[in-house]
Amino acid sequence: MRVDLEACLIQIEAGQRRCGWAAFQPEQHDGLGLRLGLFPLAAHGGPLWEPLCYAQIGGLTAATFITLLLVPVFYSICVLDLKIVQWEENGD
């Protein structure tokens, strides 16, 4: 049984889009709610809370960017372009 490589690549790309969107929604809902909730504390929280809140907001923004943009890009490069991950064909 021969595997059609182009069909497999189309399935991988479609799966990446579905998984990317599925990961995007809860990340944005939780992250956005937390970031918006930290802004009043950052604005009026005093000298102790202001830098802490800004650090958390920046860290959440960076983590969201890495999770939703860089991880899928690196996966596509390693699997589709560089072929670092090889899929074994069944001998059936």
Q: Given pLDDT bands bounded at 50, 70 and 90, which one contains residue 54?
A: very high
Q: How confident is the model at residue 53 (pLDDT cuts 50, 70, 90)?
A: very high
Rounded distance between C-alpha atoms, residue 20 and residue 87, angstroms: 22
pTM recorded for the entire structure: 0.60
CB 42 within 8 A of CB 58: no
CB atoms inside a 10 Å sphere around CB 68: 16
Q: Which of 64, 41, 65 is nearest to 52 (CA)?
A: 41
Q: What confidence tens digit (pLDDT) does each residue in 10-36 have?
A: 777 777 677 666 766 777 778 788 888
65-89, pLDDT tens digit by residue?
A: 887 788 878 888 887 777 777 766 6
Secondary-structure breakdown of the chain: helix, strand, coil percentages, each rounded to the nearest 5: 80, 0, 20
pLDDT of 3 > 80? The answer is no
Phi–psi pair at 45, nearest 5 degrees: -90, -10
